């Protein structure tokens, strides 16, 4: 399931991952580190919602 940042709209797609941040394609949102932050605005995981 995709997640979207409620502040800036950046979207995390598990199929794509976030390679610039060291997150491999296929990494589920639940498996991201607890200290993951939005690449654009820097908020934490608790500010993301279901896309």
The nearer residue to Zn ion, 9 or 26, going by C-beta atoms, is 9
Does position 40 bind Zn ion by CB under 5 A? Answer: yes
Rounded to the nearest 10 degrees, how much is the dihedral formed by the CA atoms of 39, 36, 6, 1? 110
Q: CB of residue 4 vs Zn ion: minimum separation in angstroms?
A: 9
* SS3 of residue 49 by DSSP: strand
Does position 8 bind Zn ion by CB under 5 A? Answer: yes
Report how far residue 49's alpha carbon sits from residue 26's, in angstroms, rounded to the nearest whole number.
19
Does position 16 bind Zn ion by CB under 5 A? Answer: no
Q: By the criterion CB under 5 A, which residues form the site for Zn ion?
A: 5, 7-8, 10, 38, 40-41
């Amino acid at each position: 399931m995709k997640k979207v940042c409620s502040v800036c709209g950046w979207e995390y797609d598990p199929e794509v991952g976030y390679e610039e941040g060291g997150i491999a394609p296929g990494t589920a949102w639940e498996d991201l580190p607890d200290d993951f932050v939005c690449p654009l605005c820097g908020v934490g995981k608790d500010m993301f919602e279901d896309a």
